[in-house]
Amino acid sequence: MFHLHPNPMRPITSKNVAVIGAGAAGLVAARELRREGHGVVVFERESQLGGTWVYTSAVESDPLGLEPCREVVNSSLYASLRTNLPREVMGFLDYPFVDTKKARRDPRRFPGHREVLEYLRDFAGEFRVTEMVRFSTEVRYVGLVGDGKWKVRSIKRGGGSGGGGGAAADVDEVYDAVVVCNGHYTEPRIAEIPGMDVWPREQIHSHNYRVPDGFKDKVVVVIGASASAEDISREIAKVAKEVHIASRSFQTGSSAKLLGYENVWRHPMVEALSADGGVNFPDGSVIYADAILHCTGYKYHFPFLETNGVVSVDDNRVGPLYKHIFPPALAPGLSFVGLPWKVVPFILCELQSKWIARVLSGRVCLPPEEEMMADVETLYSDMEKHGTLKRYTHRVGEHQFEYDDWLAAQCDFPPIEEWRKEMYFGTGLRKRGQPETYRDLWDDEHLISQANEDFMRYIPKVPITKL
């Protein structure tokens, strides 16, 4: 494995960099790029920062999110969503996510989505990131124009400017590099189930779920076993007649009632749907449901990106990418932040951004293209050898801290704190054993104390609430 360290003898080069998206990934990328001396413009199609953490009650006209011409709603938040990680783990490494004691803020250790958005706003304000953002500006095209430079074509959303009332025009600009931070919680991924096209009743993807009211007194089938599927199923159960959770991760065989619920059952994956409203399971049982809620994840989607086939998305594998970031043939001019999942996202994005910023400045060198491609091919070969499906290419999961520490080493940055790792895995264990209460009952106060001691290095004058 390569360990690439900063080269103090190389001159530092300042680049003009376009960052696509002003969610958590784009905000921290912009900060790290400017810290390294680069000029930065952040393009954000919405009128405010925060990306997927901006809640809206609006949903798309197509509940499954399959129509390509639909007006896209970027947020996938449901109204009751709380984080499934404690705030000590979530925050950026040098900007702790603590209770600020400000009015109308959420002091809970596992806060609601609004508190995360407020944290990102605080972060952007503290590091003057907002001044780099062009809001309501949609990127329509990114492509190589020669000499290693990139054309970015954008348009101001919402019509003309300057009071003239005319239609907005595309604007073309050239940058030395582009960092793609457009998130991956907008384009729904739907499980292919025989009979979906003839099933006559309501189908919706969790991207368009906000509140449970529409499922009152209904029989609902929830497909998926992710954190959102678990939370939404329990919320719907409070108003629905029955909730049936189906997933490939559940053991095959007969259904089982969910412990603590009289109206929730777990099932193996749905086998087929029928035109009479039946939902058929492998054990031969049939449920006549009123609605199917697909909590089946999302697709990576870069409709603006043109690389002449160098980078593609194949069954949710974005590639080829060296370390989930750089396409070897286009590095370092094109990079991606935030693709890995089953991770602590903010610190992963931060470390990816530190590495990208230093590579662009010349303080850190990438391996030759051939070596990067060999690394990618080794990853793909290992996945195939272990029977790992292609769509799990970017699922880092239990290996995430090894990946984080590798990124940190490239920048001569300390490894992730041990308390943060222990707290993450401990939370996962509590969640599996106590899914109803893990956010409000815990037994890791010693780790909270260690976190607070570390945080005092960054906010010595701000009192930290004992959680």
Q: What is the pLDDT of residue 168?
A: 79
pLDDT band of residue 100 (cuts 50, 70, 90) is confident
407 vs 3: which has the higher pLDDT: 407
Task: For 289-342, write each residue's pLDDT tens digit.
Answer: 999 999 999 999 999 999 999 999 999 999 999 999 999 999 999 999 999 999
Q: What is the pLDDT of residue 260?
A: 86
The sign of the torsion formed by the CA atoms of 62, 66, 68, 74 equals: positive
> In this model, does residue 146 exceed pLDDT 90?
no
Is residue 43 within 8 A of residue 156, CB to CB? The reply is: no
Comparing 41-45, 167-171, 347-351, the range with the smallest average pLDDT is 167-171
List, by residue range, all CATH 3.50.50.60 domains of the chain. 16-186+298-410, 192-294
128 vs 462: which has the higher pLDDT: 128
pLDDT band of residue 467 (cuts 50, 70, 90) is very low
- Angstrom distance (rounded) from CA 177 to CA 298: 27
Task: For 373-384, write each residue's pLDDT tens digit.
Answer: 999 999 999 999
Q: What is the pLDDT of residue 462?
A: 45
Tell me what the pLDDT averaged over the chain comes to: 92
Give the residue-averaged pLDDT of 120-134. 97
Q: Cβ-count burial of 426 within 10 angstroms (0-12 exposed, 13-18 middle, 19+ buried)?
A: middle
> In this model, does residue 250 exceed pLDDT 90?
no
pLDDT band of residue 248 (cuts 50, 70, 90) is confident
Q: What is the pLDDT of residue 125?
A: 96
Question: Taking the CA atoms of the chain, what radius of gyration do you get in angstroms?
Answer: 23
DSSP-assigned states of every residue in 6-63:
--TTSPP---EEEEE--SHHHHHHHHHHHHTT-EEEEE-SSSSS-GGGS--S---SST
Q: Which is nearest to 8 in space by CA: 360, 356, 412, 363?
A: 363
Task: For 207-230, write each residue's pLDDT tens digit.
Answer: 999 999 999 999 999 999 888 899
Q: What is the pLDDT of residue 158?
A: 77
Query: Domain 192-294 carries which CATH code?
Result: 3.50.50.60
Q: What is the pLDDT of residue 159?
A: 52
Q: What is the pLDDT of residue 9?
A: 44
pLDDT band of residue 459 (cuts 50, 70, 90) is low
Give the residue-averaged pLDDT of 166-187. 91
- Residue 186 DSSP code: S
Q: What is the pLDDT of residue 283?
A: 87
Give the residue-averaged pLDDT of 120-131. 97
157 vs 253: which has the higher pLDDT: 157
Task: For 385-420, write each residue's pLDDT tens digit.
Answer: 999 999 999 999 999 999 999 999 999 999 999 999
Is residue 203 within 8 A of residue 294, CB to CB? The reply is: yes
pLDDT band of residue 1 (cuts 50, 70, 90) is very low
Q: What is the pLDDT of residue 162?
A: 43
What fold is seen in the domain 16-186+298-410?
FAD/NAD(P)-binding domain (3.50.50)
Residues 445-467 as b/e (b if ≥16 CB within 10 A, e otherwise) read eebbebbbeebeeeeeeeebeeb
Give the residue-averaged pLDDT of 117-125. 97
